Structure 1
Amino acid sequence: MALLTPQGVKKVFQLQKPEGREHLRRLLNWEEFDELRDSRRSILLDTLYESIIFAVGKGFPWVEVAQVVKFTEELLKETKGCSITEAVTILGNKLRDYQGQLNTTHLLAQCDYFHNTFIRHYKLYQYVLGQDQDVKLTVTHLEVYVPPQPLPLAAGKDQAVWKHEQRVVELSAAEVQKRAYMLQLKEALQLEQQRLLQEMLGAPRWQHQVLKREELENLISEAIHIQIECLKELLQYEIQITFDILDLKLQKKTLNLNAPTPSPLPVTGQSGQDEALNLYKANKGRKAKAKKM
Structure 2
Amino acid sequence: MYAIKRGLPWSTVGQVACVTKDLLPKLVGLKTSDAVHVIRDQLSQIEPRLSSGHHAVLMDFILKTYVPHQRLYQAFLNGDTGVRHIRSELEVEGPPHPPPLCEGTDAVELEQQQVLEETRSKTEADIMKLKVKTEAQMMAKLQASLNDLPREGNICRLEVEKLLHNFLQSQGQIMMESLMEEASLTDSLLNLKLRQKSQLTERHLTNDPVSTKQHCVPTSTKKKFV
TM-score (ref. length: structure 2): 0.51
Q: Distance in 2 between matches of 1:215 and 1:145?
A: 82
Find the counterpart in structure 2 of residue 228 from structure 1.
Answer: 176
Q: Distance in 1 between matches of 2:101 and 2:192?
A: 34
Amino acid in the other structure paired with 1:285: T
Q: Distance in 2 between matches of 1:145 and 1:64?
A: 43
2:20 equivalent among 61, 64, 82: 64
Instruction: Give the secondary-structure state (helix, strand or coil) at the position aligned to 1:258.
Output: helix
Find the counterpart in structure 2 of residue 148 from structure 1.
Answer: 95
1:230-251 CA distance string (max 9 Å, x none): 2232233233333222211211
Summarize the alignment of residues 166-205 of structure 1 with structure 2, pairs less than 5 Å apart.
Answer: 166-203=107-144, 205=147
Q: Distance in 1 between matches of 2:185 and 2:61?
A: 83
1:238 equivalent among 141, 162, 186: 186
1:211-242 CA distance string (max 9 Å, x none): 84233333223322322222232233233333
Amino acid in the other structure paired with 1:230: S
Instruction: Give the secondary-structure state (helix, strand or coil) at the position aligned to 2:95.
Output: coil
Cα distance, 1:69–1:108 mapped onto 2, change above 3 Å: farther
Instruction: Give the secondary-structure state (helix, strand or coil) at the position aligned to 2:184.
Output: helix
Q: Distance in 1 between matches of 2:173 and 2:94?
A: 61
Q: Distance in 2 between matches of 1:202 and 1:244?
A: 40
Q: Is the 8 A contact 1:99 1:107 kept in 2?
A: yes
Summarize the alignment of residues 40-55 of structure 1 with structure 2, pairs less than 5 Å apart.
Answer: none
2:195 equivalent among 247, 254, 257: 247
Unmatched runs of 5 consecutive residues or more in structure 2: 6-12, 66-90, 214-226
Note the aligned Cα RMSD (angstroms): 4.6
Unmatched runs of 5 consecutive residues or more in structure 1: 1-52, 80-90, 119-143, 262-282, 287-293
2:211 equivalent among 284, 288, 292: 284
Instruction: Give the secondary-structure state (helix, strand or coil) at the position aligned to 2:192.
Output: helix
Q: Is the 8 A contact 1:193 1:227 kept in 2?
A: yes
Find the counterpart in structure 1 of residue 220 from structure 2.
Answer: none
Question: Cα distance, 1:67 vs. partner?
Answer: 1.9
Instruction: Give the secondary-structure state (helix, strand or coil) at the position aligned to 1:61.
Output: helix
Instruction: Give the secondary-structure state (helix, strand or coil) at the position aligned to 1:284.
Output: coil
Q: Distance in 2 between matches of 1:254 and 1:100?
A: 91
Amino acid in the other structure paired with 1:65: K
Question: Cα distance, 1:254 vs. partner?
Answer: 0.9
Q: Distance in 2 between matches of 1:255 and 1:234?
A: 32
Amino acid in the other structure paired with 1:205: N
Q: Does residue 76 of structure 1 match 2:32?
A: yes
Question: Cα distance, 1:284 vs. partner?
Answer: 2.3
Q: Is the 8 A contact 2:127 2:182 kept in 1?
A: yes
Amino acid in the other structure paired with 1:244: L
Q: Is the 8 A contact 1:95 1:107 kept in 2?
A: no
Q: Distance in 2 between matches of 1:175 and 1:64?
A: 76
Cα distance, 1:178–1:94 mapped onto 2, change above 3 Å: closer
Cα distance, 1:98–1:72 mapped onto 2, change above 3 Å: farther
Cα distance, 1:149–1:208 mapped onto 2, change above 3 Å: same
Q: How many correspondences in the alignment?
A: 168
Cα distance, 1:145–1:241 mapped onto 2, change above 3 Å: farther
Q: Is the 8 A contact 1:64 1:102 kept in 2?
A: no
Amino acid in the other structure paired with 1:257: L
Question: Cα distance, 1:102 vs. partner?
Answer: 4.4
TM-score (ref. length: structure 1): 0.42
Q: Distance in 2 between matches of 1:226 and 1:147?
A: 63
Question: Hey, which bits of structure 1, 4+ residues long, moved more than 6 A?
Answer: 207-211
Which has the greater radius of gyration? 2
